[in-house]
Amino acid sequence: MSDSVIVPLPFLSSRKLSDPFNPLENPITTYEFRVDTRSIPDLPTDANARPSEAAKLRRVYKSVRNAALDGALDPDEGATPGLFGYKHLGINVIAERVEETDKNLATLHFKPGQGVMNGGHGLAILRELQQDPGAAEMPPNFVKVTVIVGLPNAVIPEVAGANNTSVQVKAQSLLELKGAFEPLKDVLKGTRLENDVQWREGDVGRVKVDDIIAAMTCFRSDVYTIGDRKRTPHNAYAYKTGLIDDFRRDLEGYHALAPRLTEILEFQDYVRTQPKKVYNENGGRFGGLKFVDSIYTDAKGEKRKKPLPPFVMPFTGEEVEHRLNVAAVFPILAAFRQMISRNGNEFEWVGGFSAVKELWDSIAIDVMDTTKDACQQAGYVLNALGKSRSHWENVQRIVQIKLQDQELEKMRAALKDR
């Protein structure tokens, strides 16, 4: 950028803050704007320390796109409509001066070397979304734009650099460095997920390691015993990112479960897709359930102007038009920890893995009806459904009763054989 740039910035609300410690003859002023994501303009990026097109391919930026569209791209992430402005850290900008030319319009003046110093990738993504699917198709959301005026040119690189290096290395990256995920990787060799897991920051993969650990946590029957109502794998849904610490503290336990990982992931895909056929055959409408993701309707149940591509199940690769939302899936997975047992450094399915799927086949409709009632009680808010402890207990009870019935049938059969 060789010349000064002037950018009109429409905003929803604003405030102006003065630096209390800088001398009056050289004041530094900060402006904070809330800007509609559908109308944020292009801004110069001379001050950005790491403008990289490749970075936009990372999982985190795919999540930014999804959140800005209220979860339209990936319902698995549970993007509650209207919360983008609270999830995104915002866009930090250095400018020469700011003119508030109207109560809802500011004019930003930039000199060479100024512009966006942090949040440039988020800005680029919002600008791309304004083109495709188009601003008219974007839901109402805001993003915070912070503009600093009065910084001497000599300190701009220092401030911009600090803005871009303030994020700590994630625990998962440290675990990857130590080889803690190797037993999981070994099991996934030769599967669809062999090269499709984000094991550390910067990895390109559709599946986050947090998701894998969360699914495994649901089956830690040695830690979350059925009889202990105070200790359940509830955090597998409610606080998924915190499970990395659980994994780090109990590598032995998770490594013991690793040989069952492919079956756990296969079962998770099966639970999400299998109920459609049996539910519809019994007079229901699977695609109309509020806790079912559909390529035809959005998170609010409204018909999409253009259907999404089919959902591709991560482990099996099956392409489907409908699938259970993760909020409904995790209580089911956790209930099935009754079907796995740890013996020393090994976990084994009770009755074999085929018995696990057969049990699910036999109770799927009951679980769908129970989940339907729980979803209604949660006001059709999927996040509330996934965090409902009473619902987790109800699903667990369905599995428990079915297992008891099966055991009773075996006892009756044994008596007849005498």
> Can you tell me whether residue 340 is helix, strand or coil?
strand
Mean pLDDT of 105-132: 91
pLDDT in tens, 157-207: 777 766 665 444 567 888 887 899 999 999 999 999 999 999 987 788 889
State the pLDDT at residue 147.
96
Residue 8, token pair as written in the block: 């009109």
Residue 206, token pair as written in the block: 């559709």
State the pLDDT at residue 133.
92
State the pLDDT at residue 213.
96
CA distance 352 to 67: 40
State the pLDDT at residue 49.
52
Which among 17, 51, 30 has a CA at the least distance from the CA of 164?
51
* 322 or 227, which is more confident: 322
User: Is pLDDT at 153 greater than 80 in this prediction?
Assistant: no
SS3 content of the chain, % helix, strand, coil (to 5): 45, 20, 35
- What is the residue-wise DSSP string for 2-51? -S-EEEEEE-SEEEEEE-SSS-TTS--EEEEEEEETTTPPP--BTT-S--
Which among 254, 245, 248 has a CA at the least distance from the CA of 220?
254
Phi-psi region of 82 (alpha: psi -120 to 50; beta: other; left: phi over 0): left
Which among 391, 369, 377, 356 has a CA at the least distance from the CA of 271?
356
State the pLDDT at residue 299.
76
pLDDT in tens, 328-381: 999 999 999 999 999 999 999 999 999 999 999 999 999 999 999 999 999 998
Mean pLDDT of 274-294: 94
CA distance 218 to 264: 9
pLDDT in tens, 36-94: 999 999 998 876 654 445 455 555 677 788 889 988 887 777 678 889 999 888 999 99
State the pLDDT at residue 168.
45
Mean pLDDT of 274-291: 93
> pLDDT averaged over the chain?
88
State the pLDDT at residue 236.
93
Provide the total of helices (H) and of strands (E) in the chain, helices listed first: 16, 16
Percentage of the chain exceeding pLDDT 90: 63
CA distance 371 to 329: 10
State the pLDDT at residue 156.
76
User: Is pLDDT at 100 greater than 60 in this prediction?
Assistant: yes
Strands 115-118 and 91-95, by their bridges, are antiparallel
Q: What is the pTM of this model?
A: 0.70
